[in-house]
Structure 1
Amino acid sequence: MLNIFRIFISDFKRIKTNVVAVVIVIGLSILPCLYAWFNILSNWSPYGPDATSNIKVAVASDDKGITIDDTEFNMGETVIEGLEANTTIGWVFTDTTEEAIDGVYSGDYYAALIMPEDFTEDMVSFLADEMEHPEITYYTNEKKNAIAPKITDKAKTAVQQTVNTQFISTLIKSCMQVSDGLIDSSVLEEETGSSNVIDMLIGKLEEADADLAVYENLLDSLMSVSGNAASTTNQFSAVYPDMKSAITSGQSAMGNLQNVTGTGLASLGTISKGLSATFGGISNALGSIAKALDTSNGNLSQLSATLASANISLSGTKDAITDMRGVIGGRLERLNQMKGEEGYEILSKLLAHDPEEIGSFMASPVEIETEAVYEVDTYGSSMAPFYTVLALWVGGLILVAIIHTKVEMEPFFKNAKPHQQFFGRYITFFLIAQVQALITVLGDLYFIGIECAHPFLFWLAASCCSFVFGFLMYALTAAFGNIGEGIAIIIMVIQVAGAGCTFPIETLPKVFQVFYQFQPFKYAMGAMKEAVAGMYRDDYWKDLAILLSYTVISLIVGLVLAVPFRKLNHILEESKEKSGVML
């Protein structure tokens, strides 16, 4: 143990008395943190609006639009107006489609959205016999950048969803406004006392049926007295005033029913079809009879003559009323049936809402509420564990490349054994590596300002990383020389490619998923992520325990495998010196 500390003290004195050595040690302590900081800053918020708004995407429209009932519609212009208010992408609205497409090929734009001349026409093609899906042509330059197409693809999807949502919303609102015009509940309530269409119709048709039964009886009586004029003149004179008043009232009632059936009931289809016209016909017939009664002034003979000259048929009018009562009976049966149907209940509830509200709901009926678990607001903070771990590995790699692992024997520890030399020199490596970790962590937390739920545990994880990484690379280099340094670089490359740092490990090839389980990066980043985003049970301590277990491998490499390789390393060193070009 004494020889171990003697070797360390000797190293410390030689570094302290050598200005160049001091500068190199300072440089070794700072270089890793710069690697981490620059990478975290460069990835701070690449998917935020401030960053994506710099990605230029061209938009152009050849849409000619259409005209419906003297109203012009141009969905292409509507899309452009909507995108002008969108700041998540750097939209560029070109004068021509050719300019937009050429800009994608030249690299001026990352992508382009082109709306053809029949875009609006195809949007309303469902009104015609043949439906055509409207298309927006999307051009993307995949050569310019590997990630940019993924961002612009999201912009393309957003535009598609915006167009679909706007179209559905407009369509539903239009239908609701038309329905509201056809079935104006306020008008119906004012005129009929009921805001429910079917209830109102049932009530009115029942009243009409009762009135028609009275008029049918009156016409029977009128036909009876008309057929026996000699014996019923006095009888007719007696009932004339009441009959005249009743038929005049019947004319007015039929006119009111005609207005009711014509007020906003087109959407009820066959139920209201023909009712308004039939009520109008009966009203006209009753009006003619009322005029004839008025002209006769109670004289039955004159009434018969007036009816004959006016070609008014009492029996025909009675038959019409009888037929109408049959129609009303059928309509009442259907209305009562409709009233109990679920579809009408849904329609009634829909019509009770505001068209704007229903249109907005139908365009996007489902909303997703996001509950973030272990939320980290910035992408840079999420990537800090990876870049910090990678920086500490690079720091250990630089150490073994600059500082010798082999101990030059001095008189006061010339009898030091190989394992004493190994640990004696490693103390210097350990202390510099810990300084690297401390500077890097302090910069992450207070210079870069990453989000971190547990700063102390973040530093502790970084300290363990520096210890494990540095010890492993020190052992590899002490055992195999330059070959060990090469092995350390290979291990780093494999871990960078397959540590699941940028993309989920599940998306990588199977071979990387297998290696992933044995990589120290996995457990180093796992512990740091726990410290940054939040702890789950004892996962942090499990990751640290597995990470520290790699020191066993380092001990085996540095103390056991190094023995048979010493002679080979000596031969390699002599060969390098003889080459005259290698250190």
Structure 2
Amino acid sequence: MKNIYKVFISDWKRISKNVVAVVVVMGLIILPSLYAWFNILSNWDPYGEESTSRIKVAVASDDKGIVMDSLQFNMGDTIIEALESNTTIGWVFTDSTKDAIDGVYAGDYYAALVMPEDFSKKMVSFLTDSVTHPEIDYYTNQKKNAIAPKITDKAKTAVQQQVNSTFISTIAQTFVKAADGVDTSANQENMTSGQTVLDILLSKMQQLNTQLDSYDTILTALISVTDSASSAMNAAGQISPDMSKKIIAEQQKVDSLMKIASKGNILDSSVSSQLAAGLGQISQIMDSVINIYSKADGNIDSFASSISTAGVNLKDTKEMLGSLKTDLSSTIEKLNNIKNSGSYDMLLKVLGLDADSFGSFVASPVEIETEAIYPIATYGSAMSPFYTVLAIWVGGLILVAIIHVGVKPQKEHPDVKPYQAYFGRYITFFLIGQAQALLVTLGDLYYIGIQCVSPFKFWFAASVTSFVFTIFMYSLTVAMGNVGEALAVVIMVIQVAGAGGTFPIEVLPKVYQKIYEFLPFTHAMNAMRECVGGSYQLNYWKYLGYLCVYVIISLLIGLLFAIPCRKLNEKIEKSKHRSGVMI
């Protein structure tokens, strides 16, 4: 133990007396911290709105829009209006689609979204027999940056969701507003308060059915009158007094019915489209019949002649009317079934919403409530364990590259044994490594301001990590010289790629998934993550325990494996020296 102490003291006496050596030691302490801090700051919040809003994505529309029932509909313009208030991405609204696409090729924009000229037309194709999915043309420059396309792809998805949400919301709002319109119309007609849309529709259907019954009665009476008059004339050449009385009686019924019918009808656009055509045709025919009868002024011969001239067949019209009444009765029955079903109560609640609320609900019926487990506010804080551990490894790597690991015989300790020289010189590596760890953690916590629920444990994890890393690389260099240094670099590269510092280990190649648990980085980062996001049970101490296993491996390498390597290292050093160009 005394010789170990002597080696350490003599090392620091020589360092303290050499200004250059002191400056070098200070540089060795500071440099790893800069490596960690710059990386954490550069990755502080790359996916936040403040950052992504600087990524330029062009938007252009050739959409010509469509006109539906005198309503102008242009989804391309609607999307652009919505994106103008969206600051997630740096949207650039170009004058033409050519400018947008050319800008992507030139590298002015990371991506471009273009709405084709038939975009709105395809949006409403579900109303036709030929449904066509509308498409937005998406152009992305994958050469410009490796990560940017991943961000712009999210922008593409956001636009797609915006389109779907806007379209569904518009349709839903229109539906509810139409229902409100029917309700308002009903109130204007002095309908009973508290009626639902279905009640109103059923009432109209019932009124239609009553009117059709009136038409049927009229047609029956007219057919009876005209047939009676025609039969009497054909039989006797003139109408008998009894037959005349009968015709007059029937005609009086017709006159009475005509007065009722002339009060107007309730045929309007609120009726089911399946009945509209038939109802419209019957209405026109009956209007003509009523008009002709009115002009005939009770003269059956004149009426029959005018009806024939107009091409109206009363019997065919009665058959058509019977078929229409059957369809109307079927519709009324279906509406009554709907009204009596349990689902109708839900529909009433939906229609009770205002248009904006209902449109918003239909556009996004399910909302996901996110409950973050171990929440971390910024990406930089989440990445700080990786960059801090990497900086500590880099610090240890610089140490073995700058400071000699071998102890040359000195006057003050000529009888120092190899293991004493090993521990004596390592104390210097340990202290500088601990200074590196302390500085980098203080900077992370108080200069960068990372999130950390347990600052002391964060520093302690960094301290243990530095101890493990420095003794591991020190042992490799003691045992294998420059080959050991090179091996430390290789191990670092493997760990940067395969320790799960940036990407989840599950998405990495299988070779990394197999060696993941055996890498020192893995356990050092996991211990620090417990301090940043929050600790679970004894995981923090478990990870540090795994990490300390490498201390045993390091001692075996530095004290035992180094013995057979000494002669080989001497030969390598002599060969390097003879080259005249290698250190």
TM-score range, shorter chain: 0.7 to 0.9
Residue 156 and residue 209 in structure 1: after superposition, are their counterparts in 2 closer, same or farther (change >3 A)?
Answer: closer
* 1:258 to 2:258 alignment: no
Counterpart residue number, 2:310: none
Counterpart residue number, 1:99: 99
* 1:360 to 2:363 alignment: no
* 1:405 to 2:405 alignment: yes
In the alignment, the residues of structure 2 paired with residue 98 and residue 323 of structure 1 have an alpha-carbon distance, to the nearest angstrom, of 59
- Residues 254, 279 of structure 1: 8 Å contact kept: no
**What's the CA shift string for 1:111-154, capped at 9, x where partnerless?**
22233333334434445554444333222221111111111122
Task: Give the deviation of 1:55 after TM superposition.
Answer: 1.7
In the alignment, the residues of structure 2 paired with residue 363 and residue 206 of structure 1 have an alpha-carbon distance, to the nearest angstrom, of 38
- The aligned runs of 1:38-53 (5 Å cut-off) are 38-53=38-53
Counterpart residue number, 2:441: 441
Task: Give the deviation of 1:542 after TM superposition.
Answer: 0.9
Counterpart residue number, 2:562: 562
Counterpart residue number, 1:298: none
Residue 127 and residue 335 in structure 1: after superposition, are their counterparts in 2 closer, same or farther (change >3 A)?
Answer: closer
Say which is worse superposed, 247-256 or 484-493, in terms of deviation: 247-256
In the alignment, the residues of structure 2 paired with residue 318 and residue 118 of structure 1 have an alpha-carbon distance, to the nearest angstrom, of 50
Residue 497 and residue 103 in structure 1: after superposition, are their counterparts in 2 closer, same or farther (change >3 A)?
Answer: same
Counterpart residue number, 1:302: none
Residue 129 and residue 276 in structure 1: after superposition, are their counterparts in 2 closer, same or farther (change >3 A)?
Answer: closer
In the alignment, the residues of structure 2 paired with residue 38 and residue 286 of structure 1 have an alpha-carbon distance, to the nearest angstrom, of 92
Counterpart residue number, 2:158: 158
Task: Give the deviation of 1:489 after TM superposition.
Answer: 0.8
In the alignment, the residues of structure 2 paired with residue 208 and residue 65 of structure 1 have an alpha-carbon distance, to the nearest angstrom, of 42
- Residues 112, 138 of structure 1: 8 Å contact kept: yes
- The aligned runs of 1:80-229 (5 Å cut-off) are 80-127=80-127, 130-178=130-178, 181=181, 184-191=182-189, 192-193=191-192, 194-195=195-196, 196-201=199-204, 204=207
Identity of aligned residues (%): 52
Aligned residue for 1:549, secondary structure, equals helix
Aligned residue for 2:265, secondary structure, equals helix
Amino acid at match of 1:473: M
In the alignment, the residues of structure 1 paired with residue 262 and residue 57 of structure 2 have an alpha-carbon distance, to the nearest angstrom, of 64
In the alignment, the residues of structure 2 paired with residue 252 and residue 479 of structure 1 have an alpha-carbon distance, to the nearest angstrom, of 119
* 1:382 to 2:388 alignment: no
Amino acid at match of 1:335: I
**What's the CA shift string for 1:40-94, capped at 9, x where partnerless?**
0111111112212222222233334444555544433333333222222222223
Amino acid at match of 1:565: C
In the alignment, the residues of structure 2 paired with residue 54 and residue 324 of structure 1 have an alpha-carbon distance, to the nearest angstrom, of 69
Aligned residue for 2:91, secondary structure, equals strand
Counterpart residue number, 1:339: 336
In the alignment, the residues of structure 1 paired with residue 122 and residue 327 of structure 2 have an alpha-carbon distance, to the nearest angstrom, of 43
Say which is worse superposed, 466-475 or 409-418, in terms of deviation: 409-418
* 1:522 to 2:522 alignment: yes
- Residues 429, 470 of structure 1: 8 Å contact kept: yes
- Residues 59, 112 of structure 1: 8 Å contact kept: yes
Aligned residue for 1:139, secondary structure, equals strand
In the alignment, the residues of structure 2 paired with residue 173 and residue 424 of structure 1 have an alpha-carbon distance, to the nearest angstrom, of 80
Task: Give the deviation of 1:266 after TM superposition.
Answer: 3.1
Say which is worse superposed, 272-281 or 365-374, in terms of deviation: 272-281
In the alignment, the residues of structure 2 paired with residue 249 and residue 175 of structure 1 have an alpha-carbon distance, to the nearest angstrom, of 42
- The aligned runs of 1:465-504 (5 Å cut-off) are 465-504=465-504
Amino acid at match of 2:112: A
Amino acid at match of 1:24: V
Task: Note the aligned Cα RMSD (angstroms).
Answer: 4.1
Say which is worse superposed, 554-563 or 66-75, in terms of deviation: 66-75
- Residues 251, 287 of structure 1: 8 Å contact kept: no
Residue 64 and residue 307 in structure 1: after superposition, are their counterparts in 2 closer, same or farther (change >3 A)?
Answer: closer
In the alignment, the residues of structure 1 paired with residue 130 and residue 286 of structure 2 have an alpha-carbon distance, to the nearest angstrom, of 44
In the alignment, the residues of structure 2 paired with residue 257 and residue 359 of structure 1 have an alpha-carbon distance, to the nearest angstrom, of 38
**What's the CA shift string for 1:303-348, capped at 9, x where partnerless?**
xx766776699xx999999997997577446423432245983666
Counterpart residue number, 1:27: 27
* 1:580 to 2:580 alignment: yes
Aligned residue for 2:59, secondary structure, equals strand
- Residues 198, 335 of structure 1: 8 Å contact kept: no
Aligned residue for 1:37, secondary structure, equals helix
- Residues 218, 258 of structure 2: 8 Å contact kept: no
Task: Give the deviation of 1:506 after TM superposition.
Answer: 1.1
In the alignment, the residues of structure 2 paired with residue 327 and residue 118 of structure 1 have an alpha-carbon distance, to the nearest angstrom, of 40
Residue 120 and residue 466 in structure 1: after superposition, are their counterparts in 2 closer, same or farther (change >3 A)?
Answer: same
Task: Give the deviation of 1:187 after TM superposition.
Answer: 2.6
Amino acid at match of 2:265: Q
- The aligned runs of 1:32-71 (5 Å cut-off) are 32-68=32-68
- Residues 498, 513 of structure 2: 8 Å contact kept: yes
**What's the CA shift string for 1:524-566, capped at 9, x where partnerless?**
0000111101111211111110001110100100111011111
Amino acid at match of 1:264: S
In the alignment, the residues of structure 1 paired with residue 96 and residue 42 of structure 2 have an alpha-carbon distance, to the nearest angstrom, of 36
Residue 27 and residue 60 in structure 1: after superposition, are their counterparts in 2 closer, same or farther (change >3 A)?
Answer: same
Unaligned runs of 5+ in 1: 296-304
In the alignment, the residues of structure 1 paired with residue 455 and residue 10 of structure 2 have an alpha-carbon distance, to the nearest angstrom, of 35
- Residues 282, 321 of structure 1: 8 Å contact kept: no
Task: Give the deviation of 1:110 after TM superposition.
Answer: 1.7
- Residues 170, 359 of structure 1: 8 Å contact kept: yes
